[in-house]
Amino acid sequence: MVKTLEAVELVARIKDLLWEKKAEKVVALDLRAVSESLDYFVLASATSTPHLQALERHVQEKLEEEGLRPRPTEGQSPRWVVLDYGEVVVHLMTPEAREYYDLEGFWADAERI
């Protein structure tokens, strides 16, 4: 299966932006082989709610400078933020939310990239 080059580059860019702000446990999943409707997830943990907000702000601001804006999402919480960039969906979570929702476990068959 051929990866969409632009999406793979966006995944790498988002991972770099998250590392710049000290995100923890940054993981990217290629979901195309295990889902009919999802392409890529980038998951990262924040150490606190302010850190979560800083990660969200940093990714949004830097990608907006490059002409990319996330799609509107509903139901944001102080424990879990979703940024939807189409083929790439970013999940920023507190460690407790990440453990509870266990997206990596749910998508265990997805390739890590």
What is 17-83 written as a DSSP string?
HHHHTT-EEEEEEE-TTT-SS--EEEEEE-SSHHHHHHHHHHHHHHHHHTT--PBP-S---SSEEEE
The burial of 53, by beta-carbon neighbours within 10 Å (0-12 exposed, 13-18 middle, 19 or more buried), is given as middle
The answer to whether residue 69 is domain-embedded is: yes
Give 24-58 pLDDT, tens digit per residue: 999 999 999 999 999 999 999 999 999 999 999 99
CB atoms closer than 10 angstroms to residue 26: 16
Give 2-17 pLDDT, tens digit per residue: 457 799 999 999 999 9
**pLDDT confidence of 1, banded at 50, 70, 90?**
very low
| CATH number, domain with residue 55 | 3.30.460.10
Q: What is the mean pLDDT of the chain?
A: 93
Task: Look at 92 and 75; give whichever has higher pLDDT.
Answer: 92
Q: Which two tokens stand for residue 10?
A: 């966006």
C-beta of residue 26 within 8 angstroms of C-beta of residue 59: no
Q: What would the mean pLDDT of 64-90 be, rounded to a whole number?
A: 91
Predicted local confidence at residue 42, as pLDDT: 98
The answer to whether residue 1 is domain-embedded is: no
- Per the structure, the complete domain to which residue 58 belongs is given by 7-112
The answer to whether residue 37 is domain-embedded is: yes
**How many structural domains are present in the chain?**
1
The answer to whether residue 2 is domain-embedded is: no
Residue 66's nearest CA partner among 22, 9, 28 is 9
The answer to whether residue 53 is domain-embedded is: yes
Enclosing H/E stretch for 85: strand 80-85
